[in-house]
Amino acid sequence: MNRVELWTSASFLGEVREWVADELATRAVRLTGDWEQPHARPWSSAIRFETTDGSVWVKVNGPGTSHEPALVRLIEQRIPGAVPEVLAVHPTSNWALSRDGGPTLRGLGPPEQLWTVWEGLVARYADLQLRLAVDRDAVLGTGVREVSPSTVPRLARALLDDLAAVPVDGGGLSHEQVERLTDVLPALDDWCLQLAASGIPDSVQHDDLHSNNVCWTGSVETARFIDWGDATWGTPLATMLATMNSIAFYAGVLVEGRPIDDPRVLRVRDAYLEPFTVYAPRADLVRYVELARRIGCVGKALSYETALAETSLSVHAEYEFPVRGWFMELLEEWVR
């Protein structure tokens, strides 16, 4: 039985429901019987339960995203209100029980109505990153992986060796692809050196911050950031790979093979960078974002590698071999 089959089975759901009921009972809250499971993927599942005190969610994590419950609890402790309230973390399983954070930003309205909202959200998120930058040991203690300018060169070479040893039809690299990626490695080393010398501190990097991972309750100040399963420790600016790509995609301005140059997306980027201007001039920060987006391709490949750990070849194929796909994106970023 694979993880999705397990997590959607009646026996597993009954076990989760029993745990939730026990945790809620300590707060004099009861389940009403209504529930849904809108998300079940090989790396995690989310289950919503209705209670006598509103909705609650259980996030179930696989081995590749097992850090999430502890990380979310840490973020809540350090920065109250940044994530939905965590009610409980299972002592032996990778489960977290949280209050409902509200509807997601994606349902708030069409992309053209969200530009100003995004500018406020990314500035608040950047502040969160800077506040967590002093908590390296605590964050890494949750199991979050370090994918920083100091570790990416080594991690990229190890990933290249791993994929070179796998047949192409199994998600590996061809000889030509290995050669092309090998040629990029000196440039990757240089990008990492520049970021390491930038003075910008490493911090938590969400790595999947898009409109479906923000809960909106009416204001930027009360929004909640969810789904930290892809989070890593590294240059905070790498966030802009997933975020800029997603915003541009939903706005219909993401063009494959071309830099993102829509002024509305760039205003979101600049709003994100504002809290970092204490470390470097804006022109330098814009360049650092481009470097971070490049090395972020390695980070995304590694995120999928861990998220799909212990899954079958068919699962990797179902998602179009994302480890290889994101690693190959490094080539596209190199030639731009």
| Exposure string over 254-273, b if 16+ CB within 10 A, otherwise e | beeeeebebebbeebbbbbb
Could you tell me what percent of the chain has a pLDDT over 70? 99
Closest CA relative to residue 236, chosen from 267, 266, 279, 265: 279
Confidence (pLDDT) at 336: 54
* Mean pLDDT in residue range 159-175: 97
CB 36 within 8 A of CB 47: yes
Per-residue confidence band for 24, with pLDDT thresholds at 50, 70 and 90 = very high
Confidence (pLDDT) at 335: 53
Structural domains in the chain, CATH included, are 3-99 (3.30.200), 105-335 (3.90.1200.10)
Give yes or no for residue 133 having a pLDDT over 90. Answer: yes
CB 303 within 8 A of CB 230: yes
DSSP letter assigned to residue 202: P
Distance separating alpha carbons of residues 42 and 161, to the nearest angstrom: 25
Lowest mean pLDDT among 31-40, 51-60, 143-152, 327-336: 327-336
The three-state secondary structure class of 308 is coil
Distance separating alpha carbons of residues 13 and 159, to the nearest angstrom: 36
109-116 contact pairs (CB < 8 A, 24+): 111/247, 111/250, 111/251, 111/252, 112/251, 114/211, 115/264, 115/267, 115/268
Torsion sign (Cα): 146, 147, 149, 154: positive
pTM above 0.75, yes or no: yes
User: What are the tens digits of pLDDT across the range 141-163?
Assistant: 999 999 999 999 999 999 999 99
Confidence (pLDDT) at 194: 98
Distance separating alpha carbons of residues 331 and 336, to the nearest angstrom: 9
Per-residue confidence band for 332, with pLDDT thresholds at 50, 70 and 90 = confident
Question: φ and ψ at 48, to 5 degrees?
Answer: -105, 135
CB 142 within 8 A of CB 74: yes
* Mean pLDDT in residue range 20-39: 96
User: What are the tens digits of pLDDT across the range 260-287?
Assistant: 999 999 999 999 999 999 999 999 999 9
DSSP code string of 35-68: EEEEEE-SSEEEEEEEEBTEEEEEEEE-GGGTTH
User: What are the tens digits of pLDDT across the range 181-232?
Assistant: 999 999 999 999 999 999 999 999 999 999 999 999 999 999 999 999 999 9
Closest CA relative to residue 228, chosen from 65, 87, 2, 41: 65
CB 69 within 8 A of CB 94: yes
Closest CA relative to residue 58, chosen from 25, 26, 12, 27: 12
CA dist 150 → 133, 154, 193 (Å): 16, 8, 8
